[in-house]
Chain A
Amino acid sequence: MKNKIKVFRAMHDMTQEDLAQAIGVTRQTILAIEKGKYVPSLDLAFRIARTFNVTIEDVFQYEAASPITVGID
């Protein structure tokens, strides 16, 4: 899952801390999402998109890299 949070933050002149406070998460979570370490829930993704007044698809791009496998992650 790719995202453009960093770009939208720059456009809105927001720091990670500002965005984190706006959507009620920690700064570390924003950082983890930006770096692709953590995939946010649908609820959080909506909140991020609404903060920037855009749609989810504008912020997040889904990439089907490999077939879905069931197992221990």
Chain B
Amino acid sequence: MKKNSFYLIVGCIALALLAVFWYSVEHHIRFITEAAFIVAIVLIYLIRTKVTDFIEDERTTRITEQAAVRTFQVFWVILCAFSIGAVMQILYIPSFPQEHFTNAASRPPVILGPRLMGFFQLFLLCLMIFLYVAFRIYYARKYGDWETDEE
């Protein structure tokens, strides 16, 4: 299979995934999107093995590895900082629980509600992608990806 055919198939899969996502949101069935996402990624990995004109050598592998490691080094700190906040929310035990049950106004505020949690997840997802792309560009430049010469 040629590289261009692969990109076309990936585009089709992405469109199908978007349609599934839309259907899932409309009908509020999140498991469909989650399952579809896993199936799509597995499918893309399988199809990628059939592509014959992808040339990968040790330099491109090194660029990918370096970018992945650096992304992980930065991302885990941010993820942990966020997770610690979420854990604190779970572990919060009011001193006078009875008062909280009787008086709604005195209940502790919900800092991370499900909706806000979703936005944070989206932010983390975008951050991870942004970090990886940024590090990939940095290492590609470092290892001479955009070098030109007289030939």
Residue ranges of A at the interface with B (Cβ–Cβ < 8 Å) = 15-16, 24-26, 28-29, 31-32, 34-35, 37-38, 40-41, 43-44
When the two chains form the complex, which single residue of B58, B60, B142 contacts A37, counting CB atoms closer than 8 Å? B142
Query: Which B residues between 17 and 42 are near A, CB-CB below 8 angstroms?
Result: none
Instruction: Place the interface of chain B in its size category.
Output: 10 to 19
* A-B CB contact pairs (8 Å), 26 listed: A15-B151, A16-B151, A25-B55, A25-B58, A26-B57, A26-B59, A28-B144, A29-B59, A29-B60, A31-B144, A31-B147, A31-B149, A32-B59, A32-B144, A34-B149, A35-B144, A35-B149, A37-B143, A37-B144, A38-B59, A38-B143, A38-B144, A40-B58, A41-B58, A44-B57, A44-B58
**Inter-chain contacts of B65 with A (CB < 8 A):** none
Interface string of B136-150 (1 = CB under 8 A from A): 000000111101010
Interface of B is mostly: loop
